[in-house]
Amino acid sequence: MNKALALFISIFASVAAMTTTHAETFSFDRDATGALPAGWRSGVTGRGFPKWTVETDPTAPSKPNVLKQSGSGFFPWCVRPDVSVADGYVEVKFKPLTGSEDQAGGVVWRWKDGDNYYVARANALENNVSLYYTTKGRRNTLKYVDAPVPGNAWHTLRVEFAGKRIRVIFDGKPAIEMDDDRISGPGAVGVWTKADSVTLFDDFGYGAASAR
């Protein structure tokens, strides 16, 4: 058995041994447009002026509203600060619209604060999917893989995490599978962009899990 297959089986077994005890999905359709959705908090890792607002969009997977990031900054984020998940999953549908430096959409988990969290993202300019950990405001690369990420199109990004095991799934296909334990314990979940990315998000979901 090769190492890649062994790792896949190990991660699959870990996820299968978990039971989702709480899950939520946010479509933003009941939130007022032009402002942050209720219960969310936004900011930026590093410097910048992010702008997160609920907007109406005719292409939304679940109509009529989406969450839009139209400002700019090093690493803009928008999270549910009341959520505390150690093991489980986080996923979102996202659509990269424009950006000369980046056209990225991502999810964060085990978010402790604006300087400490895990993030996985897909980038339409680079056509790749990446996994990072951020500590003390510095983003560090764990792994990235080439993958087609067409711009101006909706994609699905999902991360499953249990202990030190992390599995990133992009558009229904496993993209990154590895172990890392640099950020442990519960934290918030949310979405993320980079630089001047103008990105839409919809159907954000997460689930907390516990071992059987």
Structural domains in the chain, sorted by start: 3-211 (2.60.120.560)
Q: What percent of the chain has pLDDT over 70?
A: 89
Q: Tokens 């980038």 sit at which residue?
A: 123
What pLDDT does 5 receive? 42
Model confidence pLDDT, tens digit, residues 97-138: 999 999 999 999 999 999 999 999 999 999 999 999 999 999
- Three-class secondary structure of residue 57 per DSSP: coil
For residues 129-155, b (16+ Cβ closer than 10 Å) or e, as one string? bbbbbbeeeebeebbbeebebeeeebb
Asked whether residue 15 carries a pLDDT value surpassing 50, the answer given is no
What pLDDT does 86 receive? 97
Rg (CA), the chain: 16
What pLDDT does 7 receive? 42
Dist. CA 47–CA 73, nearest whole Å: 6
Cis peptide before 150, with omega less than 30 degrees from 0?
Answer: no
Q: Tokens 């949310």 sit at which residue?
A: 190
Model confidence pLDDT, tens digit, residues 51-82: 999 999 999 999 999 999 999 999 999 999 99
Mean pLDDT of 184-208: 98
- Taking the complete model, does pTM exceed 0.75, yes or no? yes
What pLDDT does 166 receive? 98
